C-alpha cells in the first residue's frame, strides 16, 4: 500500500487528549443519570433490518447503514440475473416456436402455445402465466403477423424485437422486471438483513418490548453509545457519533418532565456551563395553534416563520406566513404570539386566552403550567427554563412536552440537546399504551462549547505525571523499581524505554505534556525536574511520592 | 409487527446490572493502563475496506462485516447486468450482420467485421478486441459455415447458438464474464467500500501511520472498543464483543515486555482475581525448536501435541508427533522438553542446552532471561509468571515474546488474555521498522470468571439508594424537594412517579434492588424503611442524608 491510509469520510479518529475530554463529559453524564435513578443499558451496534427500517421515514431509511450478509450474499441475486439472461435467450426460442406453429398451420394454437411455454423451465409460474395469457389474448395479431411474412423473409428474432414492439412487449417486461428487482428493497433484503443503529430510541423501544417480562416499569434507562447515519459528511456532521439519552417508559406522570429539566440543569452545571437555556413547548399547544390558524398542515411553516421574529420583524414574518398560505384572518387571531414576551406565567396567560377554544390547547397549557411551576419552586442551579412556542422539533412523534437546549449565547452553536414525550413509544413493536419521555445530550456540540469556553479542567488529561530518563541498562532497573512503587501509589509514571540521547528524551516528555522528569538516581536520592519551571529538587522516594501525589 | 422483536444472532443486549459490571472491569483497566503511561485512542467503527481486507488471511476476510454503500449502491452492478443483457441481444445482431457480409460476398471481410463490431457501443474496448480477434481468426470457418447455408435456411441467431457452439463461444464467454463478476471481490468492491473493524490492532497500525507526524514515539496507547466478526455464533462466541488492548509502538526495549507482565498482574490483582498464570514464550525459541526437529512446517503440530503431555503422557504425545511426520531422531533431540518442569531458571537452562546450535533460539532465551529475571526482581502482586514452550499463539505475526493468561485453575475458562511482540507492526501501511508489543484483555471471559468466583463488589450496582413513595399530588412536591437535596449530595434517589397502590410501589423498589424507601413525610420528618430488615426510623433531612451517604 503506497499511499497513506485514511478513514472513511464523516468518521473520526480520537487522540488521547480528545478521548480524555469526551470521557470526562460522559462520566459526568453517567454520574448524574444514575443520581436521578436512570440505569444504563447497551444494545448491539446492529439490529435486524426489520427493527429499524420504516421507523424514520423514507429519508431515514435511506440513511441507515446496511450490512452485507456474510457468506455468498449474492447467491440469490445472481440467480435472478442468470434467470434474466435466460429469459432473453428463451424469448428468441419462443418466437421461433411460434413462427413454426403458425407456419405449420397447427390447429389447436392454444394448447400448442401452452406446451411451448411449459417447455421453458426457466420461467417461473407467474411468468409462464403472463406469457401464455398474452399469447392467447393476442392470438389473432400474432397469427396475422406470421402468416403475412414471406417465407423468405427473415422474420425471426430481432425483427420482432426491432419492428414489432407489441409482440415483444411481454417478454421485454419480464426482462425489465427481473432487472427492476435490483433497484428495490427486495434486493437489499436479499443481500442485507442487518443494519447499524440509526438512533438509540428505536433500539430502546425494541429492548423494552423484547425484555418486557424482566423489566420493572416504570423503567428509567440511560444509554450512551454511537449511532451511524449515511448523511452527506459536512462540517460538524458525522457518520458515526455518540448519542447520550435518558428516557423513562411506562409512566405518564409529569414529574418526569420536571425531573428531566433538573437533569439537564444538573449536568450542565457540573460541566461549568453557565447561561444554558432549556426551551420547553408542548405538542398540544401547537395543535391548538394549528386549530386557531385553521390549517394543521401549515403548522411547520407557521412556527418556522414565527421563529424569525427577531431577525425579520413582525411585518416580515407575517409576509412570509401569508406567502405560505396562512390567511390574514388567522394571523389576526394569533396576534398575541407576535408579542410573546415576559415571564413563563405571562406567556401561559396569553396562551390561555388565545387557545381558549381548543381542548388540546388547554390541556397543553395545563401540562406546561405544572412542569414550569414545579421546576421554578424546586429551583435550578444555573440553567434558565423558557417557554418557546416556535419549538416544533419532533412534531411527527412527540405528543406532549418538547424540549430543546440552547448553548450559552456567547457561543454560536445552536441546540446542544433535545427531547420530549411520545405517548406510544413501543407501539411499533406491539406493546401498546407505553408512554415515554426522554432527553438527549449532544456530545459533540457540548465538547465544542466546552472547548471554546475553555471549560475542560486541566486534570482531565490522561497524561503521565513523571517520566524517568533512561541512561542505559545500568540504572534502568532502579528506575523501574521506583516506578513500580509510584504506580502502586496511583501515580502515572513511566520510563523512557530506550537509552536515547538525553535531549531527545526531554523533548519527548515536553511534547507529551509530562510535567516532571526524574533526571538522575543516585543511591536513594532522585533528582526531579519540573519541565515548565526548570526547577530541580533532590528527593528520597517517600518525598518523591508526596510531591507527585 | 406481530411477533416479538429480536436481535441478530451472536449479539447481546446488556441489562443495567450487566453494564455496571462491565464498566467496573473497564474502569479498572483504564485506571491501570493510564498509570502505566498508556493513553487512550478511539478509531471509527468502520474502516475503508482496503485497510482491513487481506490483513487477517482468507478466513479473516470472510468474517469481516461489510457495509453496503449508501445511496444507489447497486447502480454499478445493475450497469453490468444491463450490459450483459445487451451483449446477448447484440450477439444476435452481429451474427445477422456476419451472415449479411458473407452472403453479399463482401471482399474486405476484415475491415467490414471491424466496422460491424465497432457499431456496437455497448461492448467495452476489451470485449470488442476479443470479438474482432475471434472473427478474424475464425474467418475461414465462419465464411465456410455461412456460405454453405441454403439461402432459405433459417441459419440465423439461435441456430448458431444451438448447433455451432464454436462460433457462439466468444460471445457466450463475454456473457459469462459479465455474470462472473458478480461472484468475485470486484462486486463486493462495487457495492461495499467500508467494513466494521475486525480487531483493534490493524486500526491501531493504520492510526499510527496516518498520524505519524503528530505522534510522539515511542507511543503507548490503549483502546477499549467493540469489534465485529461474522463468526458462526456459538456459546461464548459473539459477533460483537469488546477488545481491550494496550500496545506500545516504536521501541524495541524489553522493558516493555517486563511492564506488560506487571500490567496484567496489576489489573488482575485489583479485580481480586488470585491464581492467574501469565504464560510467556518467545517466537525465536519456537524457531530454534523447529530447527532442532528439522521441520519448521511441523512446528504447530509439535506444540499442539506437546501441550497434551498432562493428558496423554509422553508416549501418547510422541505417538501423535510421529503420526504427524516428526522423525524419531528429532524426538530424541528434544527429549528434555518431555520433562520440562521446574523454575523458569531451570527451564531456561534446559533450553540453553537444547538450542545451543540455533542462533535464533539463543536470542530468544536471552530475551526470556531478561524479561523473567526483571519481573522476578520487581515482584508481582498475585500472578505467577511461567515459561511455556507449547505457547504458539499468533505464530504468523509475533516475532518475539508471546503471552497468554490463564484464569485461576478452579474456573474452567482457558485464556483470559494474550499478546506478544511483532517487529513490523506498521509495515503493511508503508511505515517500516516500527516494532510493536502489546497485550489484550478478554472482557467477556474476565466477566464470567469474576461472576463465577463472586468477585464483583456489591457497590458496583448503579441501583438507586432510596425511593420515595408516591401518595398522590399532595406530598409529591415535598418528596421531590427532598430528592433534589439528596441528589445534590450525590445520593441516588428517586420518587415513584405515579400514585399507584403502596404495595405495588414497595414491590417495585424490592425488585429493583433499591435498599431504602421513604414511606412518609410529615413536616420535616421522614420515615425511612430498610427493605431488607424491615427496620423503620424517623429522621430529619440532615439525618436522612447522613444515613444514606
DSSP secondary structure, B426-439, as one string? SGGGT--S--EEEE
Residue A152 pLDDT grade (very low, low, confident, very high; cuts 50, 70, 90): very low
**Dihedral sign of CA atoms A311, A314, A316, A320 in order:** positive
- A11 contacts B494? CB cut-off 8 A: no
DSSP H or E segment with residue B110: helix B109-118
For B89, the enclosing helix (H) or strand (E) is helix B75-103
Backbone angles phi, psi at B520, to 5 degrees: -155, 145
Per-residue pLDDT band for A151 (boundaries 50, 70, 90) equals very low
Under the banding of pLDDT at 50, 70 and 90, the label for residue A223 is very high
Q: For residue A89, list chain B residues with Cβ-Cβ distance below 8 A.
A: 88, 161
Asked if pLDDT for residue A349 goes beyond 70, the answer is: yes
Task: Closest CB to A253: pick one of B154, B464, B497.
Answer: B497
Three-point CA angle A526, A531, A535, nearest 5°: 65
User: How many angstroms separate the Cα of B164 from the Cα of each of A153, B94, B103, B137, B167?
Assistant: 23, 15, 18, 16, 6
Cβ distance of A96 and B158 shorter than 8 Å: yes
- Which residues face A160 on adjacent strands? none
Q: Which are the contacts of B269, defined by CB distance < 8 A and separation ≥ 6?
A: B381, B382, B383
Best A43, A44, A65, A495 residue to mutate vs chain B (most B CBs within 10 Å)? A44
> DSSP of A248-270, one letter per residue?
EES---THHHHHHHHHHHHHHHH
Rounded-to-integer distance, Cα A406 and Cα A279, Å: 8
Nearest chain A Cα to B489, which residue?
A: A35
Element (H, E) at B96: helix B75-103
What local confidence, expressed as pLDDT, does residue A397 receive? 85
What lies within 8 Å, CB to CB, of B251 at 6+ separation is: A497, A498, B217, B218, B435
What is the SS3 assignment for A528? Answer: strand
Q: Which residue has the higher pLDDT, A191 or B211?
A: B211
pLDDT surpasses 50 at A277: yes
pLDDT greater at residue A439 or residue B108: A439
| B88–A89 C-beta distance less than 8 A | yes
Gap between the Cα atoms of B143 and B109, Å rounded: 9
* Average per-residue pLDDT for chain A: 86
Long-range CB contacts (within 8 A, 24+) of B116-124: B120/B90, B120/B93, B120/B94, B122/B83, B122/B86, B122/B87, B122/B90, B123/B87, B123/B90, B123/B174
CA separation for the pair B473, A309 (Å, rounded): 39
Chain A contacts of B82, Cβ < 8 Å? Answer: 179
Residue of chain A minimizing CA distance to B55: A1
Q: Which of A8, A69, A370 to mutate to test the interface with B (most CBs of B within 10 A)?
A: A8
Count CB atoms within 10 A of the CB of residue B113.
22
Q: What is the pLDDT of residue A261?
A: 98
Q: Which residues of A416-432 are buried (b: 16+ CB within 10 A; e: fewer)?
A: bbbbbbbbebbebbebe
Residue A374 has pLDDT above 90, yes or no: yes
Number of other CB atoms surrounding residue A381 within 10 Å: 12
- Closest listed residue to residue B91, CA positions, set B183, B187, B184, B176: B176
Looking at the partner chain, which of A84, A378, A428 has a beta carbon nearest the beta carbon of B484? A378
How far, in Å, CA of A275 to CA of A261, rounded? 14
Please tell me the distance in Å from A283's CA to the nearest CA on chain B: 22
Look at residue B99 in the predicted model and tell me its pLDDT: 67
Predicted pLDDT at B334: 86
Answer yes or no: do B39 and A51 touch at CB < 8 A.
no
Structure letter (DSSP) for residue A182:
G
The partner residue sitting opposite A4, judged by closest CB among B43, B183, B210, is: B210
pLDDT score recorded for residue A406: 95
**B63: nearest CA partner in chain A:** A70
Across A208-222, A320-334, A389-403, the highest mean pLDDT is recorded for: A208-222
Q: Return the residue of A nearest to B498 by Cα.
A: A253
Contact across the interface for A45 and B477, Cβ inside 8 Å: no
Closest CB from B1, B45, B492 relative to A37: B492
Out of A85, A221, A255, the one facing B495 most closely (by C-beta) is A255
Residue A85 scores a pLDDT above 80? no
pLDDT for residue A451: 95
The distance of Cα A224 from the centroid of its chain, to the nearest Å, equals 13
A80: closest chain B residue by CA: B81
In the numeric block, which cell numbers belong to residue A535?
526547577
pLDDT score recorded for residue A82: 61
pLDDT tens-digit map of B89-103: 566 666 666 666 676
DSSP SS3 for A377: helix
- In 3-state terms, what secondary structure has residue A168? helix
Nearest to B462 among A39, A46, A191 (CB): A39
ipTM value, please give it.
0.84
The answer to whether residue A162 scores a pLDDT higher than 50 is no
CB atoms within 10 A of CB B466: 25
Q: CA–CA distance from A276 to each of A265, A403, B86, B527 (Å)?
A: 8, 13, 63, 37
Find chain A residues with C-beta within 8 A of B36's C-beta. Answer: 487, 492, 494
Q: What does each C-alpha distance from B52 to A6, A70, B40, B186, B197 come to in angstroms?
A: 12, 16, 21, 16, 7
Q: What is the pLDDT of residue B124?
A: 77
State the pLDDT at residue B110: 82
- Main-chain phi, psi angles of A33, to 5 degrees: -55, -50
Return the pLDDT at B154. 42
Tens digit of each residue's pLDDT (9 = 90 or more) over B434-450: 999 999 999 999 999 99
A75 vs B539 pLDDT, higher one? B539
Mark yes or no for CB contact A13/B211 under 8 Å: yes
DSSP B261-288: HHHHHHHHHHTT--S-EEEEEEHHHHHH
How close, in Å, is residue A475 to chain B by CA atoms?
Answer: 12
* The pLDDT value given to residue B106: 65
Rounded to a whole number, what is the distance in Å from the CA of A209 to chain B's nearest CA?
7
Burial class (CB in 10 A: 0-12, 13-18, 19+), B386: middle
pLDDT of residue B90: 64
Minimal C-alpha gap between B376 and chain A (Å): 11
Q: What is chain B's pLDDT, residue by residue, as a tens digit (549 residues)?
A: 456 899 999 999 999 999 999 999 999 999 999 999 999 999 999 999 999 998 988 888 889 999 988 766 666 666 666 666 666 556 666 666 666 667 666 677 788 778 877 777 667 787 788 778 877 877 777 777 667 665 444 433 434 444 344 555 565 566 566 555 555 455 666 678 899 999 999 999 999 999 999 999 999 999 999 999 998 878 778 999 999 999 999 999 999 999 999 999 999 999 999 999 999 999 999 999 988 888 778 888 888 888 888 888 889 989 998 998 888 888 888 888 888 889 999 999 999 999 999 999 999 999 999 999 999 999 999 999 999 998 888 777 899 999 999 999 999 888 999 999 999 889 989 999 999 999 999 999 999 999 999 999 988 887 899 999 998 877 899 999 999 999 999 999 999 999 999 999 999 999 999 999 999 999 899 999 999 999 999 999 999 999 999
Contacts of B88 in chain A (CB under 8 A): 85, 88-89
Interface probe for A, chosen from B10, B35, B210, B429 (most Cβ of A below 10 Å), is B35
Count interface pairs A-B at CB distance under 8 A. 327
For residue A230, whether the previous peptide bond is cis, meaning omega lies within 30 degrees of 0, is no
User: pLDDT tier at A164 (50, 70, 90 boundaries)?
Assistant: very low
pLDDT score, position A57: 86
Tell me the C-alpha distance between A201 and A248, whole Å. 11
Give the pLDDT confidence score for residue B290 in this predicted structure: 87
Name every chain A residue with its beta carbon within 8 A of the beta carbon of B192.
68
- State the Cα torsion A248-A250-A253-A256 to the nearest 10°: 0
Mean of the pLDDT values across residues A172-183? 58
Amino acid at each position: 500500500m503506497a499511499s497513506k491510509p485514511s478513514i472513511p469520510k464523516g468518521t473520526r479518529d480520537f487522540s488521547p487528549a480528545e478521548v480524555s475530554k469526551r470521557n470526562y463529559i460522559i462520566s459526568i453524564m453517567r454520574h448524574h443519570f444514575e443520581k436521578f435513578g436512570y440505569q444504563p443499558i447497551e444494545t448491539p451496534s446492529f439490529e435486524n433490518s426489520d427493527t429499524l427500517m420504516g421507523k424514520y421515514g423514507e429519508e431515514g431509511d435511506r440513511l441507515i447503514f446496511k450490512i452485507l450478509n456474510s457468506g455468498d450474499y449474492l447467491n440469490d441475486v445472481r440467480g435472478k440475473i442468470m434467470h434474466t439472461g435466460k429469459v432473453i435467450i428463451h424469448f428468441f426460442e419462443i418466437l421461433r416456436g411460434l413462427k413454426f406453429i403458425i407456419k405449420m398451420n397447427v390447429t389447436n394454437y392454444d394448447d400448442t402455445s401452452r406446451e411451448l411455454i411449459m417447455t421453458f423451465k426457466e420461467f417461473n409460474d407467474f411468468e409462464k402465466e403472463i406469457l401464455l395469457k398474452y399469447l392467447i389474448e393476442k392470438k389473432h395479431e400474432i397469427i396475422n403477423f406470421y402468416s403475412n411474412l414471406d417465407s423468405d423473409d427473415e422474420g425471426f428474432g430481432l425483427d420482432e424485437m426491432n419492428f414489432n414492439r407489441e409482440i415483444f412487449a411481454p417478454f421485454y417486461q419480464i426482462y425489465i422486471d427481473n432487472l427492476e428487482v435490483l433497484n428495490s428493497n427486495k434486493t437489499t433484503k436479499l443481500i442485507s438483513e442487518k443494519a447499524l443503529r440509526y438512533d438509540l430510541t428505536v433500539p430502546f423501544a425494541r429492548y423494552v418490548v423484547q425484555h418486557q417480562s424482566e423489566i420493572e416499569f416504570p423503567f428509567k434507562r440511560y444509554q450512551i453509545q454511537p449511532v451511524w447515519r449515511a448523511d452527506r459528511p459536512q462540517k460538524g456532521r458525522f457518520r458515526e457519533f455518540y448519542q447520550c439519552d435518558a428516557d423513562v417508559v411506562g409512566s405518564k406522570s409529569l414529574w418526569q418532565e420536571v425531573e428531566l429539566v433538573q437533569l439537564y440543569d444538573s449536568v450542565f452545571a457540573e460541566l461549568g456551563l453557565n447561561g444554558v437555556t432549556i426551551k420547553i413547548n408542548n405538542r398540544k399547544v401547537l395543535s391548538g395553534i394549528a386549530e386557531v390558524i385553521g390549517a394543521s398542515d401549515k403548522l411547520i411553516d407557521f412556527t418556522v416563520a414565527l421563529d424569525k421574529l427577531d431577525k425579520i420583524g413582525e411585518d416580515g414574518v407575517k409576509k412570509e406566513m401569508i406567502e405560505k398560505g396562512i390567511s390574514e384572518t388567522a394571523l389576526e387571531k394569533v396576534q398575541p404570539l407576535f408579542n410573546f414576551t415576559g415571564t413563563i406565567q405571562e406567556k401561559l396567560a396569553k396562551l390561555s386566552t388565545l387557545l381558549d377554544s381548543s381542548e388540546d390547547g388547554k390541556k397543553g397549557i395545563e401540562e406546561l403550567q405544572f412542569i414550569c411551576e414545579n421546576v421554578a419552586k424546586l429551583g435550578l442551579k444555573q440553567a434558565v427554563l423558557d417557554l418557546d412556542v416556535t419549538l416544533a422539533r419532533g412534531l411527527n412523534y412527540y405528543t406532549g412536552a418538547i424540549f430543546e437546549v440552547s448553548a450559552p449565547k456567547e457561543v454560536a452553536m445552536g441546540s446542544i440537546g433535545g427531547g420530549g414525550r411520545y405517548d406510544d413509544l413501543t407501539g411499533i413493536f406491539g406493546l401498546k399504551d407505553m408512554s415515554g419521555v426522554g432527553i438527549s445530550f449532544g456530545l459533540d456540540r457540548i465538547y465544542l462549547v466546552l472547548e471554546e469556553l475553555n471549560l475542560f479542567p486541566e486534570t482531565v488529561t490522561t497524561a503521565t505525571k513523571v517520566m524517568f530518563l533512561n541512561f542505559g541498562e545500568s540504572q534502568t532497573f532502579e528506575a523501574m523499581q521506583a516506578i513500580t512503587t509510584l504506580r502502586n501509589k496511583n501515580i502515572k509514571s513511566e520510563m523512557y524505554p530506550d537509552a536515547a540521547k538525553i535531549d531527545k528524551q526531554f523533548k519527548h516528555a515536553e511534547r507529551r505534556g509530562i510535567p516532571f522528569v526524574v533526571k538522575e538516581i543516585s543511591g536513594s536520592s532522585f533528582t526531579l525536574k519540573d519541565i515548565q519551571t526548570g526547577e530541580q529538587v533532590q528527593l528520597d522516594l517517600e518525598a518523591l511520592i508526596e510531591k507527585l501525589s
